[in-house]
Amino acid sequence: MTALRRELWWGLSGWTVASLLVATLVLVPLATVLFGALGPAGETWRHMADTVLGTYIKNSLLLTVGAGLLCLLLALLPAWWVTLYDFPGRRWLEWALVLPLAIPTYVAAFAYSDLLENLFPFFIWVRMNHGIEAFLLVQDLARYGLLMLVLASVLYPYVYITARASFSQQAMATLEAGRMLGKGGGGLFWRIGLPMARPAIAAGLALVTMEVLNEFGAVSLFGVPTFTVGIFRAWLSLGDLDAARRLALCLMVFVAVALLLERAQRGRRRFADSALAARGMIRRRRLSGWRAWLMTTGCLVPLLFGFLLPGTRLLHWAVLAWERMANRELLVTAGRSVALAAGTSLLLLIAALVVIYAVRVHRTMLSRGLARVSGLGYAVPGAVVAVAVLAVTGFVDATWNQWRGAGDAGRVILSGSMAALVVAYLIRFLAVALQPIDSGFARLAGNVDEAARSLGARSSRVFWKVDLPLLRPAVVAAAILAFIDLLKELPLTLVLRPFDFETLATRAYSLAEEGRIQDCALPSLLLVAVSLCGLIPLTRLLGWRERAGAGSGAGSD
């Protein structure tokens, strides 16, 4: 017991204390959701549980499963093809297939929303010839199906990236053995490639699941009530924080089950066998004729639905609305969005560096546990984080006013402030910065730090003079990923933003909610353009590093 206590608490340095503060910042608001929902239920919650809770569960489950299956359909074959074969356009398709990540799901929903209106004549024909039940059924099928397609078309890159990384690390010797046993391209994919990549694919699907459950703009635009929509209704429309907390707790349970299923499926298996991969990297097989063009066409399909089609429609509408929307207010909104995302990205980098370096300096159970806690926020949907932060800021404001004797007429200090919004961003997106920086530290040799300390350098000096310069690529990648996610964030910003504070995301959503689809195209297009400015260099950099790591083993290309 004494040894365990020493392992837990030895190394409580400044780095560990700072990491503890970051973990507390993440954990306390989330804990308020759990403990706040354990009290006696109010009338609003009982009414929602009797009427709409089942609908929220059904819709959330249906969208998660449907979008996940479509993501597999859109991502797996293109990932396999660009990894193992050389065909026309492969060089640019391998990174262009990631571009839909620059389009937020709600922006893609804007681009596809009027397609349902074009189906109204068909719906009316069904109503006139087959009755009201068939009319409602066909209308629901069209709405849910189109929403699943919208979600999958911009979220499939999560599965594509993880699957492609796994396929590219599979050993040439394993695939050659499959060919010697008479397996063709399809047999290699189903019997060797897919089973070996299953843990990576499950991890990508877990990310898709969290994004679908976090989605608010697209589902509200299509009129499909989910847990996120219910949380917003309970808080903003009904003004009942208790009901919002309970819905948030249900959604957290939903996410926890999905993550447990992913972890159980993965078990102790790794994403790829790096030892085998080092013996023989995959050499691409050059194709020609109809097979080559079939692969090119197959890779263009997800890119068409996820990027080209919504992008061209937004561009067309932006041209039509240019005279109405291109004004100083839009430029101010764009500058405000970029400044907020950039400033919060810097804070995320600082927090992530502190948490990961605390683990590197003191490899104790405490430092490792704090790092895990700090990354919990990304597994929690934005609506849950918003409710958690609202509960904490409301409690702080009430306590402050009660201490000053002002009561309900006191000042609002934290609620609806920029500080509350930034804290919510930190909770939600800290894991986005943690992962690249953790991977960057994992590539650094530990004896470099030990050599510097043996010369009398303190850990802070080693960090600034040795580790940080070597971590520059990982820090840049973490900054770009965090910036893109922050720029696209909608639910947190809608709930927690200060009064009369607009970002490109909230401006585009507000215009779409008013039915001004063409007018929302210009802020949406600016949002996509700024995201692309970070995403394209990042994807090209990752592609270059992969080719450099493969060396001559990449084969003819």
- Are the C-beta atoms of residues 350 and 21 closer than 8 Å to each other? no
pLDDT at 404: 67
Q: How far is CA 323 from CA 158, 225, 320, 327, 518, in A?
A: 37, 35, 8, 8, 12
Asked whether residue 327 carries a pLDDT value surpassing 70, the answer given is yes
Stretch among 165-174, 358-367, 497-506 having the lowest mean pLDDT: 165-174
**pTM, entire model:** 0.82
| Residue with the larger pLDDT of the pair 500 and 11 | 500
pLDDT at 13: 66
Highest mean pLDDT among 118-127, 130-139, 481-490: 481-490
pLDDT at 173: 54
401: nearest Cα among 412, 393, 414:
412
| Residue with the larger pLDDT of the pair 317 and 262 | 317
Asked whether residue 396 carries a pLDDT value surpassing 90, the answer given is no
pLDDT at 153: 94
Query: Rounded to 5 degrees, what are φ and ψ at 85?
Result: -130, 155
pLDDT at 63: 93
Asked whether residue 438 carries a pLDDT value surpassing 60, the answer given is yes
Mean pLDDT of all residues in 528-534:
85
Query: Rounded to 5 degrees, what are φ and ψ at 86?
Result: -115, 120
Asked whether residue 421 carries a pLDDT value surpassing 60, the answer given is yes
Mean pLDDT of all residues in 547-551:
43
Domains of the chain: 15-35+323-543 (1.10.3720.10), 52-98+156-218+226-320 (1.10.3720.10)
How far apart CA 462 and CA 449 sit, in angstroms, is 7
| Residue with the larger pLDDT of the pair 50 and 557 | 50
Looking at every residue in the chain, the average pLDDT score rounds to 78
pLDDT at 180: 54
pLDDT at 27: 83
Stretch among 92-96, 431-435, 449-453 having the lowest mean pLDDT: 449-453
Asked whether residue 163 carries a pLDDT value surpassing 50, the answer given is yes
| Residue with the larger pLDDT of the pair 170 and 505 | 505
pLDDT bracket for residue 47 (50, 70, 90)? confident
Asked whether residue 274 carries a pLDDT value surpassing 60, the answer given is no
Query: Rounded to 5 degrees, what are φ and ψ at 53?
Result: -60, -45
Close Cβ partners of 511 (under 8 Å, ≥ 6 residues apart): 517, 519, 520, 523
pLDDT bracket for residue 458 (50, 70, 90)? low
pLDDT at 176: 58
Asked whether residue 554 carries a pLDDT value surpassing 70, the answer given is no
Model confidence pLDDT, tens digit, residues 243-255: 888 888 888 887 8
How many Cβ atoms from other residues are within 10 Å of residue 436's Cβ?
23
Helices (H), 308-417: 309-320, 322-325, 328-361, 365-374, 382-404
Asked whether residue 481 carries a pLDDT value surpassing 80, the answer given is yes
Amino acid at the residue 347 = L
Q: How far is CA 75 from CA 93, 212, 263, in A?
A: 12, 17, 21
pLDDT at 459: 65
